[in-house]
């Protein structure tokens, strides 16, 4: 029996290793070529890409204008202690963040209030999920043409990003933020001369995927580098 158990364990380990290798190859193919966002557990596979750091169902959101509040804390315990309704603690780029989707006028936390992004256009009768990501692009990298069922918001830490939509071109530098309304086709390009590092919120409908390709619209190349 002992030999059988050892054999089964070895097979399980081999299968698990194969799955990890397959995921690594998938990340190596998808991330640098198409900028498809993958789970943060695969972040070590590539130095650049888009990684999902957290996801939380929020349900329907309160009345009034809705904003993404970004607070920075010295450690996770302090952030967890300050977390309120619709708050999510995320570790990203070597720092601890408390992200809160809430109405304007959210009380100041003990942490450092880094930014308030919005107001984010939403439907009051819709249930939303907040998907948080970090985006690290080398200059010249771009996303696929895509859209989301709710707003996508960005707070740019370093570098420069350029967003092209059918209606406009938006350039965002370090310490700046912006958002794109739901169902809007977009393409994101890292411009400038240094690596772009951004915190990202996609506030998508809970009954929809986080995002999807936007067929039927071709960018004009307004963000070409």
Round to whole Å and give the CA distance between 104 and 12. Answer: 51
Query: Which residues contact residue 116 at a Cβ distance below 8 angstroms, ignoring those fewer than 6 apart?
Result: 67, 68, 69, 70, 104, 106
* Topology, domain 35-213: Jelly Rolls (2.60.120)
Round to whole Å and give the CA distance between 45 and 51. Answer: 11
pTM: 0.84
In 3D space, the residue among 109, 110, 114 whose CA is nearest the CA of residue 95 turns out to be: 114
Beta strand 95-103 with 87-92: parallel, antiparallel or unpaired? Answer: antiparallel
Q: CA 185 → CA 149, 160, 213, distances in Å?
A: 11, 20, 8
DSSP, collapsed to helix, strand or coil, labels residue 177 as strand
Domain coordinates in residue numbering, the chain: 35-213
pLDDT digits (tens, 9 = 90+) for 111-140: 999 999 999 999 999 999 999 999 999 999
pLDDT digits (tens, 9 = 90+) for 48-96: 889 999 999 999 998 789 999 999 999 999 999 999 999 999 999 999 9
In the chain, % of residues over pLDDT 70: 84
pLDDT digits (tens, 9 = 90+) for 185-198: 999 999 999 999 99
Number of helical H runs and strand E runs in the chain: 2, 15
């Amino acid at each position: 029996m002992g030999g059988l158990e050892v054999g089964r364990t070895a097979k399980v380990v081999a299968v698990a290793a194969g799955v990890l290798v397959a995921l690594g190859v998938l990340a190596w193919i998808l991330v640098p070529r198409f900028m498809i966002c993958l789970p943060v557990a695969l972040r070590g596979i590539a130095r650049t890409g888009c990684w999902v750091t957290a996801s939380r169902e929020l349900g329907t959101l309160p009345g009034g204008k809705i904003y993404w509040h970004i607070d920075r804390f010295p450690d996770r315990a302090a952030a967890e202690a300050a977390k309120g309704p619709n708050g999510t603690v995320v570790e990203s780029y070597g720092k601890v963040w408390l992200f809160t989707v809430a109405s304007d006028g959210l009380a100041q936390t003990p942490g450092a209030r880094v930014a308030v992004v919005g107001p984010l256009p939403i439907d009051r009768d819709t249930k939303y999920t907040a998907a948080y990501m970090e985006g690290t692009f080398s200059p010249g990298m771009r996303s696929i043409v895509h859209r989301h069922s709710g707003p996508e918001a960005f707070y740019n830490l370093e570098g420069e990003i350029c967003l092209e939509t059918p209606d406009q071109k938006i350039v965002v530098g370090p310490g700046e933020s912006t958002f794109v309304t739901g169902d809007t086709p977009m393409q994101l390009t890292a411009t400038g001369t240094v690596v772009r590092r951004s915190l990202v919120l996609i506030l998508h409908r809970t009954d929809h995927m986080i995002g999807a390709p936007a067929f039927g619209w071709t960018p004009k190349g307004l963000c070409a580098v």
